[in-house]
């Protein structure tokens, strides 16, 4: 499968020189249109629409953006538990048809207990993973059953459930998931298609891929992998490192994630993994740069690749050689970086991945 490049769109212009998160704030339709069209023109395959307990509703944001773009697909973050799974199954199928198959869904069970409370969910984390697994199971039943069906589980019960609309993509749009806890891994191995992880050193990434492939194989499944990373590029390597240090110096303002502004450290298992590598050293594998992860408490995607476009593309392709087939790349100057990545980075990544695939085919 060709390499997939994913960006991330926000709904309002950034308020600082270095934006950590773009999932919150008021909504500007004009900015959203500009941001989505920039990704479309830059050659991104998808754009992530994030989720928080205060942000604009992701499916509506993505549907509006889809009407303003030609080919860009949308990876919509969704938290099971607030919408009935049978309703979400119809919602996804409807969106899929209205956009001509330009949808994938990122399943997240919650960033922290505090943030879940903002939407009225006081379930403990291990329970949320069991609920999410049952939720996905019920959605898939709605997509695959020709006749009304019944279902009774720990969290959901339906009688005579049926959907008149099925996804355009078969058997359904890609289901991404993230997380490093046993509950997340079991749910993803059994029910999801793509395991999304933050950029870690190559050795640990290789180990995670091997382990999760084996876990998914127990369910007869072959997963894909996505790595999220922040490229920091410039015309020379020295200029790129200067740029990186300038971004770090500008990280004293708001994080763009209201319920985590006061967080002193990681709020989930994935962040704890990232922080561990950030505390070990500043740079792994020559250009995987971790000080922003350390300075911000590893709140989300904060590991960076620093260098020239050629150097960063080659660093990304090292993950591709490990079996990572999609990459979520975004910068700290969200709109301008998306444009620059389209000009300097994405063509190099796609050309390099095609060369790797050709060489493998020739073997």
Question: Which residues does 325 contact at the CB level (< 8 Å), separation at least 6?
Answer: 1, 3, 4, 224, 225, 226
Band of residue 278 on the pLDDT scale cut at 50, 70, 90: very high
Q: Give the pairing of strands 73-78 and 103-107.
A: parallel
Distance CA 156, CA 162 (A): 15
Q: Is the pLDDT of residue 254 over 80?
A: no
Please give the residue that has the higher pLDDT: either 172 or 25: 172
105-126 mean pLDDT: 77
Indicate if the pLDDT at residue 267 is higher than 70.
no
Task: Name 196's bridge partners.
Answer: 178, 226
Q: What's the whole-number mean pLDDT along residues 261-277?
A: 77
Q: Is the pLDDT of residue 257 over 60?
A: no
Is 71 strand, coil or helix?
coil
Mean pLDDT of the chain: 93
Q: Please give the Cα distance from 126 to 122 (Å, whole number).
A: 12
How high is the pLDDT of residue 23?
80
Is the pLDDT at 354 greater than 80? The verdict is: yes
d(CA 215, CA 210): 9
The two three-digit tokens of residue 236, written as one number: 């020379």
Give dist(CA 341, CA 87) in Å, integer.
Answer: 37
Per-residue model confidence (pLDDT) at position 352:
98
**Residue (of 204, 208, 243) closest to 225 by Cα position:** 208
* pLDDT-based confidence at residue 17 (cuts at 50, 70, 90): confident
Q: Six-digit token pair at 239?
A: 């200029």
pLDDT surpassing 60 at residue 261: no
pLDDT band at 119 (very low <50, low <70, confident <90, very high): confident
């990545």: which residue's tokens?
A: 341
- How far is Cα 327 from Cα 188, in angstroms, rounded to an integer? 18
Angle between helices 202-217 and 309-322 (to 10 degrees): 30
Per-residue pLDDT for 175 more than 60? Answer: yes
Q: What is the pLDDT of residue 288?
A: 98
Place of tokens 């050659």: 43
Closest CA to 90 of 17, 166, 22: 166
235: exposed, middle or buried (Cβ count in 10 Å: 0-12, 13-18, 19+): exposed
Tens of pLDDT, residue by residue over 217-253, are: 999 999 999 999 999 999 999 999 999 999 999 886 5
Express each pLDDT in 35-47 by its tens digit: 999 999 999 999 9
Give residue 265's pLDDT. Answer: 61
Dist CA 65 CA 7 (whole Å): 13
Note the pLDDT of residue 74. Answer: 98
pTM: 0.94
Cα–Cα distances in Å, from 258 out to 14, 23, 100?
14, 10, 35
- Name the region of 56 (left: φ>0; alpha: ψ -120 to 50; beta: rest): beta
Contact 332, 19 (CB under 8 A): yes
């Amino acid at each position: 499968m060709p390499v997939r490049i994913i960006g991330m769109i926000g709904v309002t212009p950034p308020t600082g020189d270095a934006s950590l998160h773009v999932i919150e704030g008021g909504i500007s339709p004009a900015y959203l249109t500009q941001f989505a069209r920039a990704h479309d023109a830059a050659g991104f395959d998808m754009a992530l629409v994030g989720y928080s307990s205060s942000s604009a509703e992701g499916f509506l944001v993505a549907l509006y953006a889809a009407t303003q773009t030609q080919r860009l697909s949308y990876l919509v973050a969704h938290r099971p538990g607030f919408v009935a799974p049978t309703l979400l199954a119809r919602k996804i199928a409807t969106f899929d048809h209205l956009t001509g198959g330009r949808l994938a869904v990122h399943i997240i069970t919650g960033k922290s207990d505090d943030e879940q409370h903002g939407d009225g969910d006081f379930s403990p984390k291990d329970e949320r993973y069991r609920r999410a697994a049952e939720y996905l199971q019920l959605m898939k039943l709605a997509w695959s059953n020709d006749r009304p069906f019944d279902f009774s589980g720990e969290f959901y019960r339906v009688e005579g459930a049926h959907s008149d609309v099925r996804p355009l993509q078969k058997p359904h749009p890609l289901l991404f998931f993230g997380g490093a806890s046993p509950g997340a891994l079991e749910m993803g191995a059994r029910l999801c298609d793509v395991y999304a992880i933050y950029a870690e050193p190559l050795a640990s990434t290789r180990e995670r891929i091997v382990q999760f492939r084996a876990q998914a194989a127990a369910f007869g499944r072959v997963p894909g992998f996505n790595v999220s990373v922040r490229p920091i590029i410039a015309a020379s390597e020295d200029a790129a490192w200067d740029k990186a240090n300038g971004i770090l110096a500008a990280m004293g303002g708001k994080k763009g994630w209201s319920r985590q502004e006061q967080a002193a450290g990681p709020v989930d298992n994935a962040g704890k993994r990232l922080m561990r590598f950030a505390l070990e050293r500043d740079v792994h594998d020559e250009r995987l740069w971790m000080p922003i992860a350390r300075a911000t408490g590893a709140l989300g995607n904060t590991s960076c690749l620093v260098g020239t476009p050629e150097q960063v593309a080659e660093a990304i392709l090292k993950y591709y050689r490990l079996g990572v087939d999609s990459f979520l790349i975004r910068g700290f100057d969200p709109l301008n970086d998306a444009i620059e990545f389209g000009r300097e980075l994405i063509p190099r990544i796609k050309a390099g991945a095609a060369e790797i695939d050709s060489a493998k085919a020739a073997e």
